[in-house]
Structure 1
Amino acid sequence: MTIFLSICLMHFVAQLSPGPDVFLIAKSAVSQPYHNTIKLIAGISLGILLWVILTLFGFAALMQQLTWLQSMLMAFGGSFLLYLGWQMFKGGLKALGKNSEIKTVELKQQHRFFLLGLTTNLSNPKTLIYFSSVFAMALAAEHGQQLYIALAIWIPIQTFLTFSALMILLARPRLKAAYQYYAAHIDLISGVIFIGFAVVLWWQLIQLWW
């Protein structure tokens, strides 16, 4: 039980550390209705579930042996984060003088929130290495197999609950009002941050081959 709680606490801290998932949820929480952000969180949680399943089937070890496969996933992830960052940055530039146009674009994209959350989470193949380490800790413990299964079930659920709590915390009226006032500048900063995530992933890809 102690190792289970320790791993859950470690995952909680990892979840809330600055990264694409957290920044995307924060931006959505202050700018979108609850149901859109819930779709986003559901997509991220499904991504976590897929990483867990891949870890259970030993995909992490395979990826470490096949450098080209890891490189392909990192290249895809970096490209997607770069695209997402550029869209935010471009939207921020347009919003400086055309607020109504940006709102229309956001409404047209409401049905894509689930897919956006899923793709953003899957854009970082390093998550697979993280989960392989987590489950290695579980297997090393007493009753490792039972703990393995319990974590595989609980971690995606914990992901959804934690990010939902973060959404509720950030979706307060004052923060929403502040976002509406500074929306263009926040979008510009968010775009730069996501482009930064892409650069880091591409840099790690370069280091993989040098």
Structure 2
Amino acid sequence: MVPVNDWLLFAGAALLMVLTPGPNMIYLISRSICQGRRAGVISLFGVMAGFLVHMFAAAVGMTALFLAIPLAYDVLKWAGAVYLLYLAWQAVKPGAQSAFEARQLPGDRPSRLFLMGFLTNVLNPKIAIFYLAIFPQFVSPEHGSVLLQSIQLGLTQISVSFTVNLTLALSAGGLAAWFVRNPRWLAVQRYFMGFVLAGLAVRLVSEQRRAA
């Protein structure tokens, strides 16, 4: 299983990822503001179903890849660090989008809300890259089954994402109104997020160099 220190670091990385605005967050907040909390929660369950698809695909794929091509482990670790730096830039670049600038969405039936949440996540490149590039930072064949480690990390990420997104879906209207009144805090949040993501990328690369 994943060592406790690595697991806690991964949980922190998962928290940063879910707090970084992307298609899932923007859709859930927009849906909650336009159609109410119930619609946001139903959409959230669709998003969680999408996470399960990403998790099992990455777990099975990494297991096969590490067994066939050991070098792939190091390649994906570097890719993960580069991706974290990319997310840091996306957070601080001029004109970066805020998830609380909600889009107008038409009302939909519960079944369609679930389906749209599912498709939004399954087709979300941010999540696909997270699973393929960030997971290898915390999975090691030396710690046992790569498949079980991947599932452990996947369930951790899903739990973190569900908790944060549920909070956002239930309080989207109030948070959006607060940020409209206090726009400066949007910039503070973006720069703080960018700094932490960049720091995590540097830390992961530095650890890899010491191990080399």
TM-score per shorter chain, which class? Answer: 0.5 to 0.7
2:166 to 165, 168, 191: 168
2:187 alignment counterpart: 188
Residues 41/78 of structure 1: CA separation in 2 closer, same or farther (3 Å cut)? farther
Letter in 2 for 1:21: M
2:16 to 13, 20, 29: 20
1:144 alignment counterpart: none
Q: For the residues of structure 1 that align with 2:3 and 2:164, how far apart are their CA atoms?
A: 17
1:103 alignment counterpart: 102
Report 1:52-131 matches (<5 A). 52-59=59-66, 61-63=70-72, 70-86=77-93, 90-91=96-97, 102-104=101-103, 113-114=120-121, 115-119=124-128, 121-122=130-131, 125-131=133-139
Would you say the 8 A contact 2:88–2:193 is kept in 1?
yes
Q: Which has the higher helix share?
A: 1
Q: Sequence identity of aligned pairs in percent?
A: 8
Residues 197/122 of structure 1: CA separation in 2 closer, same or farther (3 Å cut)? farther
Cα displacement (A) at 1:17? 2.2
Residues 50/11 of structure 1: CA separation in 2 closer, same or farther (3 Å cut)? farther
Cα displacement (A) at 1:118? 1.4
Letter in 1 for 2:16: P
Letter in 1 for 2:199: V
CA RMSD of aligned residues (A): 4.9
Cα displacement (A) at 1:128? 0.6
Report 1:29-40 matches (<5 A). 32-33=31-32, 34=40, 37-38=44-45
| Count of paired positions | 181
Residues 32/14 of structure 1: CA separation in 2 closer, same or farther (3 Å cut)? farther
Would you say the 8 A contact 1:45–1:118 is kept in 2?
no
Q: For the residues of structure 1 that align with 2:170 and 2:79, how far apart are their CA atoms?
A: 40
Helix, strand or coil at the partner of 2:102: helix
Q: What's the TM-score once normalised by structure 1's chain length? A: 0.53
Q: For the residues of structure 1 that align with 2:30 and 2:184, how far apart are their CA atoms?
A: 13
Partner deviation per Cα, 1:12-40 (whole Å, 9 max, x = no partner): 75564254323138965666532555565
Letter in 1 for 2:18: V
Would you say the 8 A contact 2:60–2:147 is kept in 1?
no
Q: What's the TM-score once normalised by structure 2's chain length? A: 0.53
Partner deviation per Cα, 1:149-199 (whole Å, 9 max, x = no partner): 5665565356435532443244334x6413422253453233213422453
Unpaired runs of at least 5, structure 2: 33-39, 106-115
Would you say the 8 A contact 1:85–1:192 is kept in 2?
yes
Letter in 2 for 1:91: Q
